Amino acid sequence: MKPISLIERIIRLLYPAKCMVCETILKEESTAFICESCKKDLKRYGRGFFRAAELPYIDGLFAAFNYIDGIETAIHAFKFKNQPRLSETIGGLLSEELSKYGVLPGFDYIVPVPMHPRKKRQRGYNQSELIARQLGEFLNMEVRTDILKKTRYTRPQSKLKRNDRLHNLEGAFSVSPDVFVEGKRILLVDDVLTTGTTINTCAKILKDKGVNMIYGIVIAIAEK
């Protein structure tokens, strides 16, 4: 993790840093928003990159954790409680797990799953983009947010059944017409994978535009 910035130190004078899982107040010098006990208890997915039959357009998928207990609490706070600062800790945990599995395939770009502009204004940030930027720093790789766009506002996928999720995303994403992606190799970033409909839909659109290889990476996989 990066050293604590001056701005972060000032914030902590007013609002002491707490563990994003158990809310224990952390030591002043702590560089991550998680205590050692909670970090140890996170349920690692432990598979490296793998092929998933239900994700035909993803050439390999990596997940750091199972979406239960501590990581579920942390991601929920990150997404829904206006805590973008957690991206560095969560992105650091994801990078740490990724580093356990050796050399990565060569990628040209990291691309986050996009958020519709209206939803991004409401939330204030796209959590997948923030995680992608953390990965970009860790892998020393370019993050591109201009390639894939969400052009239609949709209902939250988490509230829908599998078949409804597919219908919900029809025509929702597009590749920007002024970017060249033919033959490129992309690492596609999302936060949580449940049925995989969103990340697979994005991958299909990219491959339809000539992308050569797409690997997916998520913080956690939810039990189906």
pLDDT per residue as tens digits for the range 111-131: 999 999 999 999 999 999 999
pLDDT value, residue 121: 94
- pLDDT(157) > 80: no
Task: Using pLDDT thresholds of 50, 70 and 90, give the confidence band for residue 184.
Answer: very high
For 127-161, b/e burial (b = at least 16 CB within 10 A) is: bbbbbbbbbbeebebebbbebbbbeeebeebeebe
Q: Who contacts 156 (Cβ-Cβ below 8 Å, separation ≥6)?
A: none
Q: Tens digit of pLDDT for each residue in 2-53?
A: 666 666 666 766 678 899 999 999 987 788 999 999 999 999 999 999 999 9
* Class of the CATH domain delimited by 43-221: alpha beta
What residue ranges do the domains of the chain occupy? 1-41, 43-221
Model-level pTM greater than 0.85? Answer: yes
Q: Of 6, 12, 209, 215, which Cα lies nearest the Cα of 111?
A: 215
